[in-house]
């Protein structure tokens, strides 16, 4: 992937794009965090979870985790069918990618726009197949994180959280049907790092007066 070579800053205070991206990242992080908390609560206190909490658990990443962890009530066909929560998450990630594509230029701008285009394609693919496309989120996160390596706007914790989350979640996604405690743990770790990544991105965008192009 090409490197970004121009480090000229652009004032983020003059545009709504970083704020929109920050809200999208924060909303995604909150949804994923609440889904994780709801999952733990349902394990600790089965039968005492409200319907809206169960709804939050139904994002495809949590369902993949449940499949790896061999939850008794979860089967592979649970990933089939349209889920409005998944579509909403895809739209949020796409909004974040578009926001970042405005901030970067040259190679960085191209690749962040590619990440945005992938999320749009993912929504279309998911609507058409009711199965495929959602894992494009991990690819978009990976692309954005690699682009961030070439500038000083985002710290290394943010960058490597995104890279690690993407890789671990991809491995878990590709190995659905293979039951391994190691894969289950790594997928769970990847999920946690993804939540952290969204919160770190949101915080940086909210604080930004300038961002490296």
pLDDT reading at 212 higher than 70: no
Average pLDDT of the chain, as a whole number: 83
Assess whether pLDDT exceeds 50 at residue 187.
Answer: yes
From CA 89, how far away is CA 36, in angstroms rounded? 15
Q: Which residue has the higher pLDDT, 44 or 31?
A: 31
Q: How far apart are the C-alpha atoms of 95 and 81, rounded to whole Å?
A: 24
The pTM score is 0.86
At 4, the pLDDT band (50, 70, 90 cuts) reads very low
Q: CA triplet 115, 119, 124: central angle to 5 degrees? A: 145
What is residue 81's predicted lDDT score, i.e. its pLDDT? 84
To which H or E segment does residue 189 belong? helix 181-207
Q: Is the pLDDT of residue 151 over 80?
A: no
Average pLDDT over residues 71-78: 76
Return the minimum-mean-pLDDT range out of 13-27, 49-63, 114-128, 193-207.
49-63
Is the pLDDT at 17 greater than 90? The verdict is no
| Helix, coil or strand: residue 207 | helix
CB 203 within 8 A of CB 157: no
Q: Residue 161 — pLDDT band, cuts 50, 70, 90?
A: very high
Report residue 8's pLDDT band, with 50, 70 and 90 as the boundaries.
very low
d(CA 33, CA 50): 16
Task: From 116, 110, 108, select the one nearest 159 (Cα to Cα).
Answer: 108
């Amino acid at each position: 992937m090409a490197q970004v070579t121009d480090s000229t800053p652009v004032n983020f205070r003059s545009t709504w794009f970083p704020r929109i991206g920050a809200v999208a990242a924060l909303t995604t992080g909150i949804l994923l965090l609440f889904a994780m908390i709801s999952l733990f609560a349902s394990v600790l206190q089965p039968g005492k979870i409200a319907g809206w909490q169960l709804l939050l658990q139904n994002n495809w990443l949590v369902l993949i985790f449940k499949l790896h962890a061999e939850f008794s009530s979860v089967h592979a066909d649970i990933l089939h069918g349209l889920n409005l929560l998944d579509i909403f998450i895809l739209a949020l990630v796409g909004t974040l990618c578009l926001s970042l594509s405005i901030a970067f230029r040259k190679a960085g701008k191209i690749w962040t726009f590619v990440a945005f285009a992938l999320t749009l394609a993912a929504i279309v693919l998911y609507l058409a197949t009711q199965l495929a496309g959602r894992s494009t989120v991990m690819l978009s996160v990976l692309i954005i994180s690699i682009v961030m390596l070439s500038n000083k706007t985002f710290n290394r914790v943010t960058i490597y959280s995104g890279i690690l989350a993407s890789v671990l979640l991809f491995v878990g996604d590709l190995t659905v049907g293979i039951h391994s405690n190691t894969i289950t743990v790594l997928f769970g770790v990847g999920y946690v790092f993804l939540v952290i990544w969204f919160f770190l991105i949101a915080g940086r965008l909210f604080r930004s007066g300038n961002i490296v192009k």
